[in-house]
Amino acid sequence: MTRLADIDDVDRQILSILMKDANVPYTDIAKTIHVSGGTVHVRMNKLKSMGIVTGANLTVDYAKLGYDISAFLGIYLHQSSLYDEVSKELERIPEVVAAHYTTGIYSIFAKIICRDTAHLKEVLHDKIQKIAGIQRTETFISLQESINRPVDINF
């Protein structure tokens, strides 16, 4: 397990810059934080080997691709012990882009992306609600996303 002591301020500065824009070249990062480009490269390899950095993500504006509905789904399970099986089934549904095992009234809280309300109905009725172990669902349609940012690791 990685300990906080295993990373230093240089690592945090590199992460902070890349979390805001993963396309920033290592040479630009090096100039910004006053180290060599090789140092940034070595530090990134270290962060990857530690499992702190696990990949690179592409941010897509789904609405511009015709996916206008972003919804959140509270899922009630018949038994919380069914989480692993239900989670595996949810993972097979491409419209489900995130799922969390939660405390509170829902066992699972998921995010789904759909083209329109007809597509949302199809996903809910024909895919999600047919999964064995799901008792019922509660849907929340997002009207606008106000904040979507990486965590500031320096706060």
- Domain boundaries, position 108: 62-141
Q: 68: domain CATH number?
A: 3.30.70.920
The pLDDT, as a whole number, for residue 155 is 53
CATH of the domain at 45: 1.10.10.10
pLDDT digits (tens, 9 = 90+) for 17-73: 998 888 999 999 999 999 999 999 999 999 999 999 998 777 888 999 999 999 999
Whether residue 68 is contained in a domain is answered as yes
Instruction: Write the pLDDT tens digit of every residue in 69-112.
Output: 999 999 999 998 999 999 999 999 999 999 999 999 999 999 99
Q: What does the chain look like in DSSP terms, one character per residue?
A: ---GGGS-HHHHHHHHHHHH-TT--HHHHHHHHTS-HHHHHHHHHHHHHTTS---------GGGGT--EEEEEEEEES-GGGHHHHHHHHHT-TTEEEEEE-SSS-SEEEEEEESSHHHHHHIIIIIITTSTTEEEEEEEE-S---------TT-
**In this predicted structure, what is the pLDDT of residue 20?**
86
**39 and 101 part of one domain:** no
pLDDT digit string, tens, across residues 102-153: 999 999 999 999 999 999 999 999 999 999 999 999 999 999 999 888 787 7
